[in-house]
Structure 1
Amino acid sequence: MPRPRAGPARDGRIVEGAAHSLPQPRAGRRGCPLSAVASALRPTGAARHVVKLGIIGAGSFTNRILLPSYERAESVHVAAVADIDGEAAKRTASDFGIGQAFDDPHALLTSGVVNAVHIAVPPVHSPDVTEAALAQGLHVISEKPIATSVDRARELWEQARQAGVVHAVDHEMRFDPAMTRIRRLVADGFIGEPRLVTVNAVLSVGIMPESPLRLRTWYDSHSLGGGFSQQVLSHIVDLTRSLFGDLEPLADASEMTVPAKPSADAPNELEACAADDVAVLIGRLPSGGLAVLSGSWVVGHGAGMAWDMRGSEGTLVLDRDGTLRGGRNGDPLDLIAGDDADRSIVTTLASSDEWQPLLIGLVEEFARAIGGESGPFTFATFEDGVRVCESVAAMGARHAGPHHT
């Protein structure tokens, strides 16, 4: 999760700017053919509704993950990109054959060239951009968290409802093959009434020498949307909700065990951190069972995410290597998902091009919803974003310190 370059001005203003006309777009960078996973996520049958999309933010995440995925999505055409760094926007547009580049997000939002946007700027800035997009009647995909406070998240959800647009949060892990299998098994009663769900995520990205996150960035500022609880535990909360239903928070604990990191601007100097890096959340499931969600991103031998799901009738275990095992009570645990087509992609928590099929699944559903299909859909909405904020937004608040942009 490298530090994005994009975002509105530091004081929250939308700066003035204009579109930059570009040379005739060249063919985008195409990789290998889509995997069986991506193919399975594509809609079939009815004619596709093609969405004209704008991307707000031309940082590393946009260039490394978002745009290579959008190139392979058949129902979305990326028509414009905006970044307050106009040169970054033009480079991204040139690299990916995007027709227009803007140095002002507001100029893109009011340009009339898109009917939807994907907002990929740091969380402290994204609510204002989201609000401006909703005011223009644009459909929105937001990165998580959708806001850094519960009240602000609720405001955005209400504004999206009033605007009558399709709204989504980029919780792409919902489209993981193993998670899809688990969701179906749970719905079919394989484990019966869920009694105990434990999830543990251990990562080393905050301490490894080669990781961008070993430096002090906004990811180490709770007030800017950073911290383990808002950046990683939020995904786990959302997955738990998508598999088992709403999660009622009962207790939580978080700590900041690395008080300072080398400054991103001056690596030889230490700068104080202001966000949690270890967190635990206990919640009650609709069945009355408990979920215990825990993890850290500053521990050695980071191995990813493991799930253990026990119910009145059976058990499901998703190992860190991506294999899914399960069994009814009294029977041994047998392999359920371990082949390449159904092995979990996200258990390693190592965001890479392997995640592209998951984002493709999300944006194809997003396009179908814009086209008028009634679902049911798998993607997370702003309502889901609010529920996640209610669970994690306050967890690292006591560690919050000075802003760092």
Structure 2
Amino acid sequence: MKVGIIGASFAAEAYLPALRHVADVEVTAIASARLESARSTASDFGVAHAYDDWRAMLERHKLDLVCIATPTVTHAKMTLAALDSGAHVLCEKPTAMNASEARRMLTRAEELGRVHMIDHELRFNPTRMRIAQMIAEGDLGEIRHLNIANIGSSWADPSSRSKSDWWSLASQGGGRLGANGSHQVDLVRWWLGEVASVSGEALTMVPDRKDKHTGEPWKGTADDVANFTLAMKSGARANVFISAVAAHAMGNHTQIFGSKGTITLSDGDEKLWFAKAGAPLQAVSIDDPNAGLSGINDGIWNVSVVAALRELTAAIREARPLARGATFVDGLRNQLVLDAVKTSGQERRWIDLKEADYAAA
């Protein structure tokens, strides 16, 4: 299977180490906006071809799979071009700049019969899979409410980021809502089902910044804090709070409360705790067997990519839909929620997700 990658940074961190542990796969080419980055990554991982023009890569190679890890503003055009070139596609999150782009991506992939995946790799993390299983099997009873807090400090210092940092620019699709909130929305939907209504906001708390290299003043326009409440179709409520500008990083904490039990999970130790009503919490974590593979970088994100890519390539090889993982259908439905968070903040009201929009997905 011939694979091409667009975007060198995450490729070196996660995709390429993981693909070394996927059978019968050859990474043929890699493209990056900076040719030196593409060449350096290609050299490190034995990739034969490096480009600073992703369109040239697609034109010159017959690729079975294209993996896209680039700024959000480029996702739709790269995905559509890759699909039209004959490839199946793995696209990073957030899916796109808006639901309209996400819908075009899904429609084209379905028209062409391509396998499609959004890289919500935590669907392949054994601990989070255990949560999905416990909820589905009724261990927690009726889910009543869920809390997720993701508190970081990496954007707190106005001098911590470069002027060209796309993650801080709304025009490029940056911001914590897309970077982290997309993962949280995907997990909530996976565990609890679909969203009925959304209330929230995405804020830029520290807009006045200085380039970390030159000290030049610049404006951050993407959200560095996002918070939202999801009213689920089941009746449950999910509250999510995300910050990158706290003085102290507190990590990611998840709490799920049902009529018969409670779950807690912290990324500090990655231990899953469960208690039946009236009983104490007990550890029910599951280790990821891929964590011990050679060359895989630390962290659940990098480790989970191994299983995600194994499932994706198996689906392509066997000419079948994904058995698990987030498809472009999930990508569109997640994007509808992210768009609604922004609209809610702008209009200061609850946003009901339209049945027609979900039906189209």
Q: Does 1:391 align with 2:337?
A: yes
Q: Does 1:380 align with 2:320?
A: no
- Identical positions, percent: 34
Quote how far apart the aligned CAs of 1:208 are.
5.6
Secondary structure of the structure 2 residue equivalent to 1:232? helix
In the other structure, the counterpart of 1:314 is 261
8 Å contact from structure 1 (residues 168, 381) kept in 2: yes
| 1:375–1:386 CA distance, 2 compared to 1 (3 A) | closer
In the other structure, the counterpart of 2:165 is 217
8 Å contact from structure 1 (residues 310, 316) kept in 2: yes
Q: CA offsets per residue over residues 350-373 of structure 1, 9 Å max, x none?
A: x95333320011000001111226
Counterpart selection for 2:48 from 99, 112, 116: 99
Q: CA offsets per residue over residues 341-388 of structure 1, 9 Å max, x none?
A: 269x9xxxxx95333320011000001111226566221111111111
**Residues 215-364 of structure 1 aligned to structure 2 (within 5 Å):** 217-263=165-211, 267-321=214-268, 322-337=270-285, 341=287, 353-354=298-299, 355-364=301-310
| d(CA) in 2 for partners of 1:272, 1:242 | 36
| 1:69–1:210 CA distance, 2 compared to 1 (3 A) | farther
8 Å contact from structure 1 (residues 76, 364) kept in 2: no
Give the TM-score normalised by the residue count of structure 2: 0.86
Secondary structure of the structure 1 residue equivalent to 2:221? coil
Quote how far apart the aligned CAs of 1:104 are.
2.0
| 1:376–1:259 CA distance, 2 compared to 1 (3 A) | closer
| d(CA) in 1 for partners of 2:31, 2:202 | 36
| 1:374–1:162 CA distance, 2 compared to 1 (3 A) | closer
Structure 1 unaligned spans of 5+: 1-50, 346-350, 400-405
| d(CA) in 1 for partners of 2:238, 2:162 | 30
Secondary structure of the structure 2 residue equivalent to 1:300? coil
| 1:189–1:374 CA distance, 2 compared to 1 (3 A) | farther
Counterpart selection for 1:76 from 25, 38, 63: 25
| d(CA) in 2 for partners of 1:77, 1:335 | 40
Structure having the larger proportion of residues in helix: 2
Aligned length: 338
1:285 maps to amino acid:
M
- Over the aligned positions, Cα root-mean-square deviation in angstroms equals 2.5
1:281 maps to amino acid:
F
| 1:67–1:320 CA distance, 2 compared to 1 (3 A) | closer
| d(CA) in 2 for partners of 1:240, 1:268 | 40
Q: CA offsets per residue over residues 313-364 of structure 1, 9 Å max, x none?
A: 2111113432111122222221211x7x269x9xxxxx95333320011000
In the other structure, the counterpart of 2:349 is none
| d(CA) in 2 for partners of 1:210, 1:356 | 28
Secondary structure of the structure 2 residue equivalent to 1:69? helix
Q: CA offsets per residue over residues 119-178 of structure 1, 9 Å max, x none?
A: 111111221111111111210001112211111111111111111100111111222221
1:361 maps to amino acid:
A
| d(CA) in 1 for partners of 2:5, 2:260 | 46
8 Å contact from structure 2 (residues 198, 337) kept in 1: no
